[in-house]
Chain A
């Protein structure tokens, strides 16, 4: 009896995932179908000339190399952007439940913003936002 009910529970839990399984099947099937069509009906050219081997056959002629060197500062700015962009994720739910949370929520968000501000001041003073100068640490 116990075994049967635990099995039942298992199937009930799995039933929630049926749409996911259908999606996986459909997307895999569609991808295979597209590949199959292109293999069956696509023209087969044995000749491999320079135009055929270009990344974009009828596009612009590529100039230079793909692995260009970029200033590392772009990377730093990108990281900082993500950091301060993600913080908005925490502000949205608070804004949505602003009245329900009241002063308690407000105090918590104030603490959160203060911690964020400390990080901002730190990287500002360390020279992370300055494009030209060398870092001071």
Chain B
């Protein structure tokens, strides 16, 4: 997030700034009605036409010579917008970043505003038809979800305490879901998701169409070559295709340019060969989100 973090974050991370979670922002930007409208119609956002354009057949539109670049430009401009949001049917200022487990715990412990809830993931519902309670919401967003029964988990707890939320997040992370934190809309942070590729509507544009809709984490995974036995258990965990097996060296290697730093591979390594390091430690990867 580069200069954005220096302006709005603590310790160089925008999502660790408690100010971005406060209810004052909601009042300032008048977000209550905006968010209710947006989440009532969330699933149809990609089929709704904006300026005569919707996301149906996005892959083909992106392949068109000039139009593809225009689409990419406007989509990124919309997602990274820092202006006050105007249209609830646009994903304005709705940009996120991958967070590893430790940062997510820090968010839940120190930044997230009560009430904390868990809700059914709308991405999984709209792309798979399945309901799974793995999104954690804070503050005003929790009050909005209360009004939308299709997101409220059945037979599961809806309101969570801080510790329960951390427990839930850990569970998802160990399962292999990628932790992501979202502005929605800028500058209000209200979503801590546990995403999966290809279901996630935020990861998909970047993975499949090259639109920067989510930033890589502030971290990078590194495999210690001496401790890796080449058991390949981390291989299936990587949802970004960053880990591969080198049959000659008989160990796994990380393509650090492709690594998003989510850290879900760390949970399966029995030999502690995988470690997570700050992105800034690697001059080559510094600032490449």
A and B form one complex? no
Listed in ascending order, the chain A residues whose CB lies under 8 Å from chain B are none
Listed in ascending order, the chain B residues whose CB lies under 8 Å from chain A are none
